[in-house]
Amino acid sequence: MFWSEETRFAWLSLMPALLIFAVFVVFPVVYSFYLSFPEWNRMSPQAEWVGLANYAALVRDDTFLRSPLQTSLFTAGSTGCIVVFSLLTALLPDQKLKQFRLYRTIYYLPAVTSVVAIGIVWLWIFDPDYGLINEALKALGLIGPRWLADTSLTLPSLIITAAWRNIGYGATDSRCHPDGPAVPRCGGTAGRNPDRLGIGGARRDRRCAAQRGIGQGCGAGG
Amino acid sequence: MSPGAGRRSDVALHGALMLASAVVLFPFLWITLAAFKTQIALMSGVVRFTPVLSNFREVLFSRTSEYLHNFANSTIVGVGSTAGVLIIGTLGAWSLRRMRWPFWVSGGLLAWAIVFQMIPPITMVGAWYVMFRTVGLYNTYPGLMLAHLTLNLPLVLWMMSVFVGQVPEELEEAARIDGASTPVLLWRVVVPVVRPGLVACGLLVFILSWNEFAVALNLTAKQTATVPVAIAKYAQEFEIQYTQMAASAVLSTIPALLLLLIGQRYIIKGLTAGAIK
């Protein structure tokens, strides 16, 4: 096979990325699956093969059984808040505000703050005795709830925190358009220069939709 | 609509925006104030207080504090993983753009990105821990760098492929006619053109690495602990020094904040490109 110098170099260029993908993503996924069968506590040298016993234990575990519902509620609540706020901030550029950049930077601040620091602050804000919210309620003559210590309010408290952290989602999504409308541009590039990319418009649209998802995901990592 | 209505809606808009800004900024303000208070001033909840620097002094320079060491760790890991991910990501992105890769390659890499979207990285940590222990990468800089590199590579790959795709083909052809080999062409033509994209990606990825907690917690021990890990340890100590915790949290936010302020134009541009094109 006679490959051009460029083709060979293009092969080589993708190799590091593929290698990392194989070693640190594909292998660990398979390995994790394998690790779900023995019983091992990180300390002892010997792992004992127990088959499906780990799964059986999981199914009998109350906390685990409750977790799908909790996660769903948390996700629905926080996503709802984020979507509403994102829609509002995504419309910001249309308002032709001079202070657009300033607002955008402010809303994006929580997204570049470490989750640990955010956790500390909100732990205090929700503190039943000294916390900001209950102090404010006290000033109004009300007695605040126990927030994180109250099982019925833990989830809403977490949702508030998550919504606060991701308020900037919309601010970066208005990246969708400091200089133009959001969605139609997706296909636009392909339409303008289809030969160049060598890929059909529909396929590109699908791909750029996925890319948009990726761009947003980076904020949610924490 | 009468001009009066327009002005009124302007006022309403600004009011709403400022209210939202206040909600976002208040926790920052509050923790910053707490960092300058004494423990007594914090607990008694006084509004007027004399600011003190003792918390910062204690966090940074006390004999038992390892904060500066953690800061150095975070910087080393952040710079190392960012450099690595930019090199590997840009090369890969260029290759994906210029070559007709079979679908399983490009599709597989896309799937990787989507997998990281759907499952939290924490699910990989167990396997990574065992792997890293076995090969001696646990509690080392290269170990955590590789982990962060893996977490951020999909993002860089797709973001950079957008920027690389914007390089005019004529430019590359011109360089070819002048006899440039492929590596030279990449270095002399492609890299200079995509530099804004590299800056955007680099800033973003560094901030992500700086703030990353779950993976760092599991793959580091005392010597290589990063700042978020160190702060979390504070919170678990026997006697919690709230004001010192506040000071350490404030200090940890500063680098990412500075980068955001300096590079926000680039970051937003990068996200825009990654999102749309």
**What pLDDT sits at residue A1?**
52
| Whole-model pTM over 0.95 | no
Residues 6+ apart with CB under 8 A from B97: B161, B164, B165
**What pLDDT sits at residue A171?**
60
| DSSP-based three-state secondary structure for B220 | coil
**What pLDDT sits at residue A188?**
34
Per the CB < 8 Å rule, is B98 touching A110? no
Per the CB < 8 Å rule, is B88 touching A9? no
Taking CB atoms and an 8 Å cutoff, what residues of chain A touch B92?
Answer: 13-14, 16-18
Which has more confidence, A56 or B236? A56
Both structure tokens of A140:
């109004």
Nearest to A29 by CA among B139, B116, B220: B116
Distance between CA atoms of A195 and B96, rounded to whole angstroms? 16
Percent of chain B that is helix, strand, coil (3-state, to 5):
80, 0, 20
Mean pLDDT value across residues A196-212: 37
- How many inter-chain contacts (A to B, CB under 8 Å) are there? 238
Per the CB < 8 Å rule, is B117 touching A16? no
**What pLDDT sits at residue A77?**
93
- Tell me which DSSP letter residue A178 carries: T
- Tell me which DSSP letter residue B65 carries: -
Distance between CA atoms of B152 and B142, rounded to whole angstroms? 15
> Is the pLDDT at A165 greater than 50, yes or no?
yes
Give A186's pLDDT tier (boundaries 50, 70, 90). very low
Distance between CA atoms of B23 and A179, rounded to whole angstroms? 28
- The nearest alpha carbon in chain A to B210 belongs to A114
Per the CB < 8 Å rule, is A116 touching B231? yes
**Nearest CA to CA, how far is A131 from chain B (Å)?**
10
**What pLDDT sits at residue B59?**
86
**What pLDDT sits at residue B167?**
85
Nearest to B149 by CA among B54, B247, B215: B215
Task: Indicate the pairing of strand A38-39 with strand A48-49.
Answer: antiparallel
Taking CB atoms and an 8 Å cutoff, what residues of chain A touch B155?
Answer: 214-215, 217-218
- The nearest alpha carbon in chain B to A129 belongs to B43
- Tell me which DSSP letter residue A148 carries: G
**Nearest CA to CA, how far is B63 from chain A (Å)?**
23
Please list the pLDDT of chain B residue by residue as tens digits (277 residues): 455 566 777 788 888 888 889 999 999 998 899 899 888 887 776 777 888 898 899 888 888 888 999 999 999 999 999 999 999 999 999 888 877 778 887 777 777 766 766 677 778 888 899 899 999 999 999 999 999 999 999 888 888 888 888 888 888 888 888 888 888 888 888 898 898 889 989 998 999 999 999 999 999 998 999 999 988 887 777 567 788 888 999 999 999 888 888 887 777 666 655 544 3
Rounded to two decimals, the ipTM of the complex is 0.81
**What pLDDT sits at residue B132?**
94
Taking CB atoms and an 8 Å cutoff, what residues of chain B touch A92?
Answer: 17
Contact B161, B251 (CB under 8 A): no
- Mutation target vs B (from A7, A44, A113; most B CBs, 10 A cutoff): A113
Give A60's pLDDT tier (boundaries 50, 70, 90). very high
- The nearest alpha carbon in chain B to A42 belongs to B130
Contact B83, B206 (CB under 8 A): no
Taking CB atoms and an 8 Å cutoff, what residues of chain B touch A115?
Answer: 211, 213, 228
Q: Which residue bears the tokens 């004494």?
A: B38
Contact A20, A39 (CB under 8 A): no
The residue type at A95? Q
Q: What is the dihedral of CA A180, A186, A191, A196, to 10 degrees?
A: 110
